[in-house]
Amino acid sequence: MESVDLIEELTMEERGEVFTALIHKCFDGKEPELSRVPMMAYRVLLTRANMSLEAYEKRKEKDRQRIERWRKKQNVTLRNVTERSDTLRTRIDIDIDKDIDKDKDRYIDSKLSISTNSNKEILTNVSKESAPEKTKSEVKRFIKPTLEEVKKRITEKGYMVDAEQWYSYYESNGWMVGRYKMKSWQASLAYWNSKGMGNRRSGAYRHPTALDTSQIEYKQF
């Protein structure tokens, strides 16, 4: 109110002098030469302006510190999430490799135990199957199904799998089963149905685990 009262006492010419003096002070740093009353108004307004500027700078510094603390917290959180994700991914890969090795051993053992009279022939066939690499013409190329083909398959087999959930899941991960490219989408549908994954009736849904993906892969094998 003191500054308002002082300004009210000034004439329009004196107000212009005070305003001009404040501008010169801000830009040139020069102290003005004014009469007594305009000088008093100048001093009061300059003090108020400096106080407002100091308060603004303090608020700006507090905001800067708050933003810096928030950024540090976000960086720590992101780093922890990344580390946990990498650890989980490594564990899943190890589990899948172990399951694959076990399934390979079971497959070979079952081949060897078909007939004791033809062990030599079976071993020869197994070595022939595992040793040479198939040429590009011999490898059956996987062709992803359409959503309509999936729905038709589910209807024919009477599966309780939600076609759109199943299709969206594999469409989003590039039609991968674990670390391998899908070989048989029919086998994957059968496995989902047997495990109650994506069940339309109950509304329950869960993504395949590492063990699920390895079992699907070797159902195709």
Q: Is residue 112 part of a domain?
A: no
Q: Is residue 102 part of a domain?
A: no
Q: Is residue 209 part of a domain?
A: yes
Examine the fold and report which residue of 73, 104, 125 is the final residue of a domain before the chain moves on. Answer: 73
- The pLDDT confidence band at residue 198, using thresholds 50, 70 and 90, is confident
pLDDT in tens, 142-152: 899 999 999 99
Domains: count for the chain: 2
What is the Cα–Cα distance from 195 to 173, expressed in whole angstroms? 20
| pLDDT score of 87 more than 70 | yes
| pLDDT score of 18 more than 90 | no
Task: Locate 64 and state its tokens.
Answer: 């800067």
Q: Is residue 207 part of a domain?
A: yes
Give the mean pLDDT of 16-22.
89
pLDDT in tens, 43-55: 888 888 888 888 8
Question: Which residue intervals of 113-176 are DSSP H helices?
Answer: 119-130, 147-157, 163-172
The predicted pLDDT at position 69 comes to: 92
Examine the fold and report which residue of 73, 108, 128 is the final residue of a domain before the chain moves on. Answer: 73
Strands 180-181 and 176-177: antiparallel
Q: Is residue 85 part of a domain?
A: no
201, HSE (Cβ side, Cα atoms, 13 Å): 5
High-pLDDT (> 90) share of the chain, %: 28
Q: Which domain holds residue 182?
A: 140-220
Examine the fold and report which residue of 73, 99, 131 is the final residue of a domain before the chain moves on. Answer: 73
Q: Is residue 186 part of a domain?
A: yes
The predicted pLDDT at position 39 comes to: 87
Q: Is the Cα dihedral 125, 212, 89, 170 positive or negative?
A: positive
Q: Is residue 91 part of a domain?
A: no
Q: Is residue 173 part of a domain?
A: yes
Q: Is the Cα dihedral 37, 41, 43, 44 positive or negative?
A: positive
The predicted pLDDT at position 213 comes to: 54
Q: What is the 3-state secondary structure (H, E, C) of 10-42?
A: CCHHHHHHHHHHHHHHHHCCCCCCCCHHHHHHH
